[in-house]
Every structure is written in C-alpha cells, then in structure tokens.
C-alpha cells in the first residue's frame, strides 16, 4: 500500500501554480461559452480544454509523471482506444435527429 | 487505487457519453442555466481545485511524517468538499424550485434534460460526499498512527479523480446548456 516513492514530486508553490493554470482554462471555457458559437464548435473547444485540464490533473496532481512508466503505458493506450470507439459511435446521434416516427 | 479510478472513469465516461448522445439526438434541447448558475459553477470549480491543492499539501506533510500538519490539511480539504456539496445542493434546490425534476421540464421541452442533469451531477455529488467521509476516516486513523502516508496518497488520488471528473461535467453539463 505504501507507494510513496514519489520523492521528487513538486511542492506547494508548483501545485498552486498548476491550480491557477487550471482556473485560467476554466475562464477560457466560460469566455468561449458566451461567444455564442455553434454547438458543435463550442463542444469541440470545450472538450479540448477539458482534456488539457485532465492531462494536467493526472500528470501533476495525481503524480502520473513521477510514477513508473508501466502505469502510464497501461492507462493511456486503453484510454485512447475507448475514446476512438466513442468517437466512432457518436455520429449516429446526429443521424437519429433526422429520423422521423411516422404516425399512421 | 489506480484500478478503482480506471473503473470509475469508465463509469463516468459511459454516463457522459450517453448524455452527449442523447443531447445531440434531441433536436429541441432546453438550456436552463442562467448566468447565476454558471457563476455558481465557477465558484464550485474553484473550491474543488483549491481542495486538490490542499490535499497535495496534506500528502507532502504526510511524506515528511508531519502527522499533525497533514491532519490539518486533510481537514481543510474536507471543509472545502463540504462547501462544494453545499453549493451543489443549493443549485439543485434553485432548479427544483423552478420546476425541474428527474422527469419534468418546466419549459415544456424534453424531460431528458432534467434527468440527465440530476443523474450526472447526483452521481458526482455522491462521489464527493463519499470522498469527504473517506478523507475523515484516513485523517483520524493517520493522526492516531494506524495508517501511513501511502493511505493519504491513495485517498488523495481518489479526490483528484473526483476533481478531474468535474473538469468534464462542468463544461459538458453546465456550459453547453447556458442560456
């Protein structure tokens, strides 16, 4: 259970700095929202921002950067595979919008 | 803990994906969130991010065997988690007062708007509350000496994961549905 081999992890100042970076990204997301972009464009931008935030949180807050490379290699390829599968199925939702139920 | 986080990530990923699918497939989706709700969401995000920093401070203190210091930081993290939950419940009460329910849309639009919102945010809120309890147990036991810094790290990983999920919930559920 004791896996505190992360002796080279950053200190409080570095963590606070990354927290500030994340807050800035949140600010960018809110700004993009009120630009009233088309839904598809807004969603793309928000997802990119969210993945940046997730990468920062996983790397620096969850200390994946300082863990064994095997852990990262176990997680990242599986994540990419799942995301590709999701992306492959999502366009069906756009086709569903155009399906009509015929009432006889 | 990493395995548990991976499984929980799959759960949230599936729910958020289902929400995205339903949202795209529903033509007349209602956007219920006014500026006050978005501001509340920004405050909640800030609280959760700061709580992640305090959790990291708790782990740093635990690594240096500073049990009292770590206990204090864990307590601060718990308080911030409770603040987040309180803000969240306040948002829920506001929406319920406006007529939103699991299967009711006061504007007459699709009822799935309410059900997706309450289910996704409710699941996240449950994780926050469970995390607060977990931090309390670890804090008390660590202070007494029956747990070590590894346990503090593990509960910290869970807390950062809950924060990470919010990084997706806030833009997808709140910002995409802002008026």
Instruction: Give Cα B2 to chain centroid, integer Å.
Output: 18
Task: Give the chain A residue nearest B16 (alpha carbons).
Answer: A86
* Exposure class string for A7-41: b at 16+ Cβ within 10 A, else e: eebbeeeebbebbeebbebbeebbebbeeeeeeee
Q: How many domains does chain B have?
A: 1
Contacts of A39 in chain B (CB under 8 A): 176
CA distance, residue B145 to nearest chain A CA (Å):
14
Q: Residues B58-80: what's their mean pLDDT?
A: 94
Asked if residue A5 has pLDDT above 70, the reply is: no
Q: Which of B13, B154, B176 sits opposite A43 (nearest CB)?
A: B176
Closest by Cα among B107, B93, B51 to B75: B51
Give, in order, the Cα–Cα distances in Å from B118 to each of A26, B92, B174. 22, 8, 12
Q: Which domain, by its residues, includes B119?
A: 2-177
pLDDT band, very low/low/confident/very high, at B26 (cuts 50, 70, 90): confident
Residues recorded for chain A: 104
Assign residue B33 the CATH number of its domain: 1.20.120.80
Per-residue pLDDT at B85: 97
Mutate to test the interface with B, among A6, A25, A52, A61 (most CBs of B within 10 A): A61
Per-residue pLDDT at A1: 40
Mutate to test the interface with B, among A11, A26, A39, A87 (most CBs of B within 10 A): A26
Q: Are A91 and B22 in contact, with CB atoms under 8 Å apart?
A: no
Q: Which of B161, B164, B171 sits opposite A46 (nearest CB)?
A: B171
Q: What is the pLDDT of residues B155-172, one digit of tens each?
A: 999 999 999 999 999 999
Contact A19 B52 (CB under 8 A): yes
A–B interface: beta-carbon pairs under 8 A: 119
Model confidence, pTM: 0.88
- Structural tokens at position B27: 């033509």
Per-residue pLDDT at A103: 53
Alpha-carbon torsion angle B45, B47, B50, B52, nearest 10:
-70
Q: Residues A11-29: what's their mean pLDDT?
A: 91
DSSP state of B104: B
Contacts of A94 in chain B (CB under 8 A): 24-25
Q: Which of A4, A12, A78 sits opposite B63 (nearest CB)?
A: A4
> What residues of B are in the A interface, CB distance below 8 Å?
2, 6, 10, 13, 17, 20-27, 38, 42, 45-46, 49-50, 52-53, 56-57, 60, 62-63, 148-151, 153-154, 157, 160-161, 163-164, 167-168, 170-172, 175-176, 178
Q: Residues B94-122: what's their mean pLDDT?
A: 91
Side-chain half-sphere exposure of B165, counting CA atoms within 13 A: 27
Asked if residue A4 has pLDDT above 60, the reply is: no
Q: What is the pLDDT of residues B27-49, one digit of tens each?
A: 788 888 999 999 999 999 999 99
Q: What is the pLDDT of residues A56-87, one digit of tens each?
A: 998 888 877 777 777 777 777 888 888 788 77
Q: What is the C-alpha separation between B24 and B110, in angstroms, rounded?
A: 13
Q: Residues A89-96: what's their mean pLDDT?
A: 75
Per-residue pLDDT at B124: 96
Task: Give the chain B residue nearest A3 (alpha carbons).
Answer: B150
DSSP-assigned beta bridge partners for residue B104: B101
Asked if residue B147 has pLDDT above 70, the reply is: yes
Per-residue pLDDT at A2: 43
């Amino acid at each position: 259970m004791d896996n505190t081999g992360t002796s080279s992890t950053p200190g409080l100042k570095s963590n606070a700095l990354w927290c500030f970076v994340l807050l800035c990204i949140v600010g960018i997301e809110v700004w993009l929202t009120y630009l009233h972009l088309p839904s598809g464009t807004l969603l793309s931008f928000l997802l990119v921002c969210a993945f940046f935030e997730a990468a920062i949180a996983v790397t620096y807050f969850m200390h994946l950067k300082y863990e064994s490379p095997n852990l990262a290699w176990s997680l990242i390829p599986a994540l990419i595979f799942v995301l590709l599968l999701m992306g492959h199925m999502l366009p069906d939702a756009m086709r569903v919008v155009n399906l009509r139920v015929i009432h006889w | 803990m990493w395995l548990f986080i991976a499984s929980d990530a799959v759960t949230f990923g599936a729910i958020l994906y289902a929400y995205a699918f339903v949202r795209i497939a529903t033509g007349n989706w209602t956007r219920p969130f006014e500026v006050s709700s978005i501001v509340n969401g920004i405050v909640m995000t800030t609280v959760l991010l700061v709580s992640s920093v305090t959790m990291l401070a708790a782990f740093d203190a635990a690594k240096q065997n500073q049990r009292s210091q770590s206990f204090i930081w864990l307590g601060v993290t718990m308080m911030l988690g409770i603040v987040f939950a309180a803000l969240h419940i306040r948002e829920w009460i506001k929406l319920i007062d406006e007529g939103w329910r699991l299967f009711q849309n006061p504007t007459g639009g699709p009822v799935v708007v309410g059900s997706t919102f309450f289910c996704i945010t409710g699941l996240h809120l449950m994780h926050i509350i469970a995390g607060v309890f977990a931090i309390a147990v670890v804090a008390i036991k660590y202070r007494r000496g029956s747990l070590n810094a590894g346990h503090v790290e593990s509960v910290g990983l869970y807390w950062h994961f809950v924060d990470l999920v919010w990084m997706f919930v806030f833009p997808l559920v709140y910002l995409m549905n802002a008026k």
